[in-house]
Amino acid sequence: FEPLVSDFYSYEAELLSDQEREAIAKLRAWLEADVKPIIGGYWERAEFPTQVMKPLADLDVIRFAWDETKPFENSSVFRGFVALELSRVDASVSTFVGVQNGLAAGSISVAGSQEQKDEWLPKLASCEVIGAFGLTEPLSGSDSARGLRTTARREGDEWVLNGQKRWIGNATFSDITIIWAKDEADGQVKGFIVPTSTPGYQATKIEGKISLRPVQNADITLTDVRVPESLRLQNANSFRDTAAVLRATRAEVAWSAVGTAIGAYENALAYTKEREQFGQPIASHQLIQEHLVNSLGNITASLAMVVRASQLQDAGKLRDEHSALAKAYATSRMRETVAWAREACGGNGIVLDHHVARFFADAEALYSYEGTREMNTLIVGRAITGEAAFV
Ligand code: FAD
């Protein structure tokens, strides 16, 4: 196990067990050998490299068995380092895992019955079934707690779903999509495991993205989609339950932001050591060193915050404002860091060959998804002042 040079204060080496470090080392070796060399092409063609699914499952990356209320072996600190490792090489592959594991399996894990967990979680972990998570809508993003327009109507032992979803990751090839909809009877948000082969379900790829191009985001239309009561998430009774899923995944996106910053920083650092101008490596110029050192400071501060958020999660003490601050802070520092990395590479910072351009572009999606910086700021603002600046 080689510690990351960018883990300046040795968190990884000191917090993970030997077994966990071994798992990280295997994941890193696979990412470097099989993902890094090919991912630029997939990014350019806006295709998802589906061949990564099986190795991800074999590497045991898609571990669903998390429980917010008690510590467990598969700790969130470990899963955080997994998200960091994935994003350090490619944020799209990391996002695939975030959707499959954190959002789809996470919803079932948090809000499903034991029967639903037994049925779906092993299939999601092995990637035999691919999942997606449908919360956002064309007219409802930041206000999805109250603004959802998709409806669910109970008819006997069935539910009838109608509405539209937007931005749903993995949804062009998912086998099931977790659809969040408002119950017409009580107005509460409920969750449904919707097999994508159900009549009335249609997913269309969103084209023309400039960030996370390999991630297949879709617009979904639901027209009288009928699902049995047995596919309603039995413990999702209001938006609070949806929020419990997002609390954990948001903290994990903060980890991905640290990984993305590290990926950009490490590639830029290597470039500045090789590239010579004015007769010497550009790494020897003071202003370049300033960028590199500021980047390392951003990475180190963000890492400290996400490690602590995950420790709180493992202790069952993670609050919404904890993960909101981690997400807002780490993504903001990431955005600065990838811009410095891009700048340090000059013209080569905008071509895919040197990787930095990809991190630079991908940072934009991480900055906005799973709660924008503004919304996460307002969640923290509400917690520290007692005053809600949004409804
Ligand atoms: P809006 O809510 O329209 O916000 C626009 C701007 O207004 C933002 O800057 C926002 O911060 C600001 N704003 C809004 N309200 C306020 C306020 N009260 N005060 C101050 N500022 C405010 N969703 C899913 O359900 N499943 C997925 O798998 C998924 N994957 C995604 C992948 C990508 C690549 C992207 C880009 C998005 C994805 N999303 C997904 C949706 C994502 O969560 C939303 O984009 C995000 O929540 C923001 O919503 P919005 O885009 O509608 O922006």
Residue by residue, DSSP assigns 125-193 as: HTTSS-EEEE--BTTBSTTHHHH---EEEEETTEEEEEEEEEEEETTTT-SEEEEEEEETTT--EEEEE
Tokens, residue 302: 């963000």
Ligand 1 center–CA 55 separation, angstroms: 31
Cα–chain center distance at 100: 10
Model confidence pLDDT, tens digit, residues 348-377:
999 999 999 999 999 999 999 999 999 999
Residue located via tokens 């590639």: 267
Binning the chain into helix, strand and coil, the percentages to the nearest 5 are 55, 15, 30
Q: Say whether 51 sits in a helix, a strand or coil.
A: helix
pLDDT in tens, 135-150: 999 999 999 988 999 9
Token pair listed for 82: 């997994």
Q: Residue with the nearest Cα to atom 14 of ligand 1?
A: 142
Sort 251 into a burial class: Cβ within 10 Å, 0-12 / 13-18 / 19+: buried
* Residue from 331, 364, 372 to probe ligand 1 pocket by mutation (most atoms less than 8 Å from CB): 372
Burial-class residue 68 by CB neighbours within 10 Å (0-12, 13-18, 19+). Answer: middle
Q: What is the structure's pLDDT at 61?
A: 85
Residue 13 has pLDDT above 70, yes or no: yes
| Cα end-to-end distance, the chain, whole Å | 48
Query: What's the mean pLDDT in 278-301?
Result: 98
Which residue bears the tokens 């603004």? Answer: 147
CA-proximal residue: ligand 1, atom 20 (nearest): 374
**pTM score of the predicted model:** 0.96
| Secondary structure element (H or E) that encloses residue 45, with its range | helix 36-45
Determine what percent of the chain is predicted with pLDDT higher than 90: 88
Q: How far is the CA of 37 from the centre of ligand 1 (A)?
A: 31
What pLDDT, in 10s, does the model give residues 120-136? 999 999 999 999 999 99
3-state secondary structure of 7: coil
